[in-house]
Amino acid sequence: MATRVIPPKLLRSVTRPRTSATTTAVPPPYFTAHKLQPSPQQPTLQQPGIVNRFVTPTASSVLNLDDHEKIFSSLSTVQMLRSSAILQMAATESVVDLGLWVMRSQLMEIKGVRDVLLSTIKHSFYEHFCAGEDAKEAKESLLKVNESGLRGMLVYGVEHTCDVDACERNLNGFTSAVDIASSLPKSSTSYVVVKITAIVPLDLLERVSDLLRWQQRDPSFNLPWKLDTFPVFSESSPLYHTMSKPEPLTPQEEQNIKQGHERLLKLCQRCVEANVPLVVDAEDTQLQPAIDYLTYSSAIVHKNADNPVLYGTIQAYLKDAKDRLLLVSKSAEKMGVPIGFKLVRGAYMSSETKLANSLGFDSPIHNSIQETHNCYNDCASFMLDKIADNASTGVILATHNVESGKLAATKARDLGIKRGNGRLEFAQLYGMSDALSYGLGNAGFHVSKYMPYGPVDVVMPYLLRRAEENRGMLSSSSLDRHLMRKELMRRIKAAALPKFEMQGYPQHSV
């Protein structure tokens, strides 16, 4: 896989490592709306008629996370012991730091040592957080998840490339995910996921983002290659990445961006044929404008579909997230284009802030974790209102935050959104937040696990990124480990009880 090139002018070196914006536990937000200060012309989610109705004193009544026996009923004791041990290691920052150092050290260049390290990772963290190395293993993992009452969001685990030839190879990997989904029962796979950074070269995405930002500054700036799309910026969106007028795309670059768009359209068409929606993952703000442009222009091609073919991703830790969500939703509705959204908190908090500060600008990230929580819940509330109004949209509420899950589940009930509604999906990463996943599933909602697959060396960048993003959250959020311990103790006592009774011990002595 090609190495990501770091342009000095944008200080790309600050974009790694990444840090999750969901690392601190906070009291339940019942519910103080974050008051964004928009321009007078800019519509917001706080307008009259777009009222946040998450406030409820009975949020926990919809989602029961106390019944550990029911939550983990689909998992064997061996599975729980293994999961508990791996989650404990992943929550220990010194262990994660050591692992990251080893994987990025020269030890990985020594063949025998590399083989041992990759084998160790494969039989521990890889098997816990990934669906398998090939189509056969991915299918087996999907079926096991489905047997437990959940679904899978399947993604070929390659992250990015700077090489045009690699883009074609990666497209075949994402297409194979569609083939896997189409070969299984519809109930097993909810979505296929693509990373545009793997099918369009990174440097080209940066160039296109620069040009789109400059056109946002100067609407008279002509982009002859640009197709119909939805707004990719709001009045509050950061534009500091592009400080001077960029050069137009060369004929070769225009050809490359056209080919990149065609790759995405090919994947969309395969998804249409397989009757499974396609989700586009998000990146940092240096690349996101180009990713949104390609996503939205592709959605317009499929405007006659009954349901969303494409789902874009909104990162709620960005200050402009709500404004962009509203603008895109209004534009899509006006054009009659079905489009869905995956709502996440975000994964580039540290690098985004460092880059902005280095250029003399305020961070595009909310100033506090509570503001991020509020923004996420506001956006979720808005999308639930749209679904209740039978709009041609859908939402994937991708969250590991228990309170956001409770609030959204309660509002869905209060709005009369039927359990099992295909326009509403909750999602968590494979191998994480199982208590929340099974709790939501037991409450009757569609729940998916984000399931990457591919050879260990291909998926390694994903594992490294997840380790950096989620170690804070894993160390501060102990719900899964706490409930697993309780359920394991219950099972141990249940297994030991008959032996005690046979030996004449009274039941209460256990």
What pLDDT sits at residue 41?
41
Whether residue 422 is contained in a domain is answered as yes
Whether residue 273 is contained in a domain is answered as yes
Per residue in 73-122, pLDDT (tens digit) is: 777 888 888 888 888 777 777 777 787 788 778 888 888 888 888 888 88
With CA atoms as reference, report the closest residue to 353 among 283, 281, 285: 285
What's the whole-number mean pLDDT along residues 131-159?
A: 93
Whether residue 509 is contained in a domain is answered as no
CB 82 within 8 A of CB 411: no
Per residue in 372-407, pLDDT (tens digit) is: 999 999 999 999 999 999 889 999 999 999 999 999
Rounded to whole angstroms, how far apart are CA atoms 154 and 151?
A: 9
Q: Is the pLDDT of residue 14 over 50?
A: no
- Angstrom distances, CA of residue 478 to CA of 88, 150, 235, 406, 434: 9, 22, 39, 17, 12
What's the whole-number mean pLDDT along residues 404-424?
A: 90
Q: Is the pTM of this model over 0.75?
A: yes
Q: Is the pLDDT of residue 510 over 60?
A: no
Q: Is the pLDDT of residue 132 over 80?
A: yes
pLDDT classification of 57: cutoffs 50, 70, 90: very low
Q: Which burial class, exposed, middle or buried, applies to 187 when counting CB atoms under 10 A from its CB (0-12, 13-18, 19+)?
A: exposed
Per residue in 162-174, pLDDT (tens digit) is: 899 999 999 999 9
How would DSSP label each residue in 100-158? HHHHTSGGGGSHHHHHHHHHHHIIIIIHHH---SSHHHHHHHHHHHHHTT-EEEEEE--
pLDDT classification of 16: cutoffs 50, 70, 90: very low
Rounded to whole angstroms, how far apart are CA atoms 49 and 298?
A: 30
Q: In which residue are the tokens 């590991």 written? A: 400
pLDDT classification of 413: cutoffs 50, 70, 90: very high
What pLDDT sits at residue 23?
36
Chain-wide mean pLDDT for the chain?
83
Whether residue 26 is contained in a domain is answered as no
Per-residue b or e along 1-22, where b marks 16 or more CB atoms closer than 10 Å to that residue's CB: beebeeeeebebebbeebbbbb
Whether residue 494 is contained in a domain is answered as no
Whether residue 45 is contained in a domain is answered as no
Which distant-in-sequence residues (6+ apart) come within 8 Å of 416 by Cβ? Answer: 388
What's the whole-number mean pLDDT along residues 304-330?
A: 95
Number of domains in the chain: 1
What pLDDT sits at residue 247?
97
Whether residue 197 is contained in a domain is answered as yes
CATH number at residue 398: 3.20.20.220
Whether residue 94 is contained in a domain is answered as no
Which distant-in-sequence residues (6+ apart) come within 8 Å of 306 by Cβ? Answer: 338, 392
Q: How many residues would you count in the chain?
A: 510
pLDDT classification of 15: cutoffs 50, 70, 90: very low
What's the whole-number mean pLDDT along residues 53-62?
A: 50
Task: Name the residue range of residue 295's domain.
Answer: 8-15+132-484
What's the whole-number mean pLDDT along residues 292-300?
A: 98
Rounded to whole angstroms, how far apart are CA atoms 182 and 8?
A: 44
Rounded to whole angstroms, how far apart are CA atoms 155 and 264?
A: 14
Per residue in 251-268, pLDDT (tens digit) is: 999 999 999 999 999 999
What pLDDT sits at residue 128?
86
